[in-house]
Amino acid sequence: MTIRSRQPHPSKARENVSAGDNPFLGQTRQSGRLACVCVDGTGKHVAPTYCRVHYPAGRTTMGEEIWVEDYGAVGDGVTSDAAAIQLAIDKGIEVNKSVRFRARTYLVDVELVITNFAVLKGAPRSGLTEIAGPGSGLTTLKAEGNIRSLIAISGNRSVLLSDISLNGNRACDYCLLLQGASNSTFERLGVTKALADGVHLAALDDDGVPTINDRNTWSDLRASNNGTLYLTSDLLSAFNAYGLSTQLSEQPGASAATSTGSNVVSFVGIDLAAVGVRPGDPVALGSGPATIHTMVVSVGGATTLTVAEAMADTASGLSFAFGRGDGYHEVRHGDNNLGSFYGGLFRSNAGYAMAFDGLYGPTVIGHQIDYHPFWGIRIGTNGSGPVIGCRIIGPYFETIGVKPFLLRGSNNIGIYHPMDNAYQNDPVDYLGNAANNVSGMYINAEGMKPISYLMNELPSNNLVNATVSKNFYLRSAIMQPVNETGTNDPVTAFPIMRPGTSTLTLTGTPTFATTGREGKVMCLLNEGPATVVLQDDSVLAGSKLRLTSSAYSMGAGDSVLMVCTGAEWFEVSRSQTI
């Protein structure tokens, strides 16, 4: 049987073209199909069928895509294009067509809003290169005035944004605001120079309704120079190395004060509420080697912050710096979940490169993160529960002020093959207090110290069967906390070295049951004047492993933890004391 398209009469051709029909494919369109005439081998007509139309890549209908210039956009970087772009977006949503931008700079002084399924595309590679202004060959949306965001997505819809640079121009809080965007795709986007976050996932929409920002895919997201560092004058030169001078907000005459044993820090000379300090934001107190790095837990109005750790000393007149604004930021919310991130670049953001705080965590693969003054990636804040299930694979870190990772309320975390260009940091911080629920962690860190810092920072947390694997240990080694009473209850105390003491004595001969599995017990000492790793001569007696050493010299603040390699589990059967 032969299928032959019905051809239009020549006099109808122009009318058909203007109506969006291709005269060479047929006349009648029914739900995206063309009516065809079907004949058999003798030329006899048979029952008609319909042939599916395959539209060109990037198009949603056979007609032309919508170009923002057709709705009045100029793209000269001077004239406001916000109204014209919004008209094009609304029309694209109405007729189900992609909205296209040319390689120009479009000035935006009113927030652009997407409330339904939409596709926005710029010139190729626009999100992958530094913004260079008109004539650069890039599609750039540049903020002007004082607006909340360049683009806000709401309505719990799926969108596609690709090949666009969003330049906050220090004129908007966020480059991209998600107030309801699920199953969306963001490809080759650049977000830069927002006052706060490059990308911000909110918990509520403008009507106070909880948002759903689940299962979004981010490919080649590049977030740079977002956020603001509020700091005292004496820290300007130190923090200037991490970003642009326009990101630094000097607070002359301001200072902080702490009290021994308290988590509350008081400030003078700065209104914390006015500048927008948030739970989860990083804080530095003091200067030089004595600097304390911690995190905001809550804001107590204009003058006080509750931070993650109790202060060791009483002090006043302290220098301070805190970073408000991340490359990618999730507000703590049960439906900011399960993002997938591939091959991004995060540079010189005031707070974190990425801050995750949904109920379920992300998958992050192959990112470069550099020039951040505090931590690189934060997972959780303990605001209302842990982040569950994260996979972070192959991130590369360079010039990070504290450590690559900060975990604050995180369960079942997998961090695989992180690399720190300094080759000296433990990759993870925990900022331990009784509320910090971190468990089920697997880390394989290349070129870094052992993660023996863990026990010293988490003296009373749920770390059941937490796992550590280092490149110089056997893979799948098991780390198990043991307490002072001789049981393996991980919720109570661990055999750690308290600050100010110098020796740890294991009384008697502690033994560890391995239920028939061979292995060795290791003692790891960390964070002291002479950081070392010791391996005991252990004696295998039946199904027991026995420590032969009884005491270790340690510096103030050092920790000791027991690791059994080659065994899946071990238990303490004899008591030990500090």
Residue 17 lies in a domain: no
**Do 119 and 186 belong together in one domain?**
yes
- Give the separation between CA 169 and CA 178, rounded to whole angstroms: 19
Residue 462 lies in a domain: no
CB 160 within 8 Å of CB 135:
no
Residue type, 370: D
Identify the CATH number of the domain in which residue 301 sits.
Answer: 2.40.30
Average pLDDT over residues 407-428: 72
With bands split at pLDDT 50, 70 and 90, how would you rate the model's confidence at 384? low
In terms of pLDDT, which residue wins out, 81 or 474?
81
410 token code pair: 């995180």
- Give the separation between CA 147 and CA 567, rounded to whole angstroms: 57
With bands split at pLDDT 50, 70 and 90, how would you rate the model's confidence at 350? very high
**Do 239 and 318 belong together in one domain?**
yes
C-alpha distances out from residue 9 to 12, 26, 27, 48, 279, Å:
5, 11, 10, 20, 69
**Do 386 and 310 belong together in one domain?**
no
Average pLDDT over residues 459-483: 30
390 has a pLDDT exceeding 60: yes
With bands split at pLDDT 50, 70 and 90, how would you rate the model's confidence at 439? low
Residue 309 three-state SS: coil
CB 505 within 8 Å of CB 495:
no
**Do 308 and 347 belong together in one domain?**
no
CB 126 within 8 Å of CB 163:
yes
Give kind and range of the element (H or E) at residue 522. strand 520-526
DSSP classification of residue 137: S
- For the chain, what is the mean pLDDT? 71
103 has a pLDDT exceeding 70: yes
Average pLDDT over residues 7-17: 41
Residue 456 lies in a domain: no
Neighbours of 12 (CB within 10 A): 14
- Written in H, E and C, the secondary structure of 376-423 is CEEECCCCCCCEEEEEEECCEEEEECCCCEEECCEEEEEEEEEEECCC
CB 224 within 8 Å of CB 346:
yes
What backbone torsions phi and psi does residue 565 show, to the nearest 5 degrees? -90, 145
**Do 200 and 272 belong together in one domain?**
no
pLDDT of residue 529: 32
Last residue within a domain, chosen from 388, 419, 450: 450
Lowest mean pLDDT across 172-176, 395-399, 453-457: 453-457
515 has a pLDDT exceeding 50: no
494 has a pLDDT exceeding 50: no
**Do 429 and 381 belong together in one domain?**
yes
177 has a pLDDT exceeding 80: yes
pLDDT of residue 219: 96
Instruction: Enumerate helices (H) and strands (E) in the chain, giving the number of each.
Output: 5, 51
Q: pTM, whole model, 2 decimals?
A: 0.71
**Do 352 and 387 belong together in one domain?**
yes
- 364-373: per-residue pLDDT in tens? 999 999 999 9
Residue 209 lies in a domain: yes
**Do 369 and 517 belong together in one domain?**
no
- 14-66: per-residue pLDDT in tens? 344 333 343 333 333 333 334 444 445 555 554 544 333 333 343 434 356 99
Query: Averaging pLDDT over each range in 149-158, 167-176, 454-463, 523-532, which range is the top one?
Result: 167-176
**Do 216 and 96 belong together in one domain?**
yes
Residue 516 three-state SS: coil
**Do 250 and 179 belong together in one domain?**
no
DSSP classification of residue 530: S
514 token code pair: 């391995």
> What residues make up the domain containing 98?
85-125+136-225+326-450
**Do 311 and 365 belong together in one domain?**
no
Last residue within a domain, chosen from 302, 324, 346: 324
pLDDT of residue 480: 34
**Do 384 and 316 belong together in one domain?**
no
**Total structural domains within the chain:** 3
Residue 72 lies in a domain: no
C-alpha distances out from residue 178 to 62, 115, 161, 470, Å:
30, 11, 12, 38
Q: What percent of the chain has pLDDT over 70?
A: 60
Residue 564 lies in a domain: yes
C-alpha distances out from residue 521 to 287, 410, 540, Å:
39, 27, 10
Neighbours of 540 (CB within 10 A): 12
CA atoms within 13 A on the CB side of 390: 32
Last residue within a domain, chosen from 395, 427, 450: 450
497 has a pLDDT exceeding 70: no
Q: What percent of the chain has pLDDT over 90?
A: 48
pLDDT of residue 415: 81
Lowest mean pLDDT across 127-136, 169-178, 228-237, 254-263: 127-136
pLDDT of residue 198: 98
Q: Which residues pair with 161 in a beta bridge?
A: 120, 186
Residue 542 lies in a domain: yes
In terms of pLDDT, which residue wins out, 444 or 289?
289
Residue 74 lies in a domain: no
pLDDT of residue 163: 94
- 353-364: per-residue pLDDT in tens? 999 999 899 999
Rg (CA), the chain: 29
C-alpha distances out from residue 311 to 50, 263, 264, 356, 502, Å:
75, 6, 8, 26, 21
- Give the separation between CA 145 and CA 108, rounded to whole angstroms: 9
With bands split at pLDDT 50, 70 and 90, how would you rate the model's confidence at 68? very high
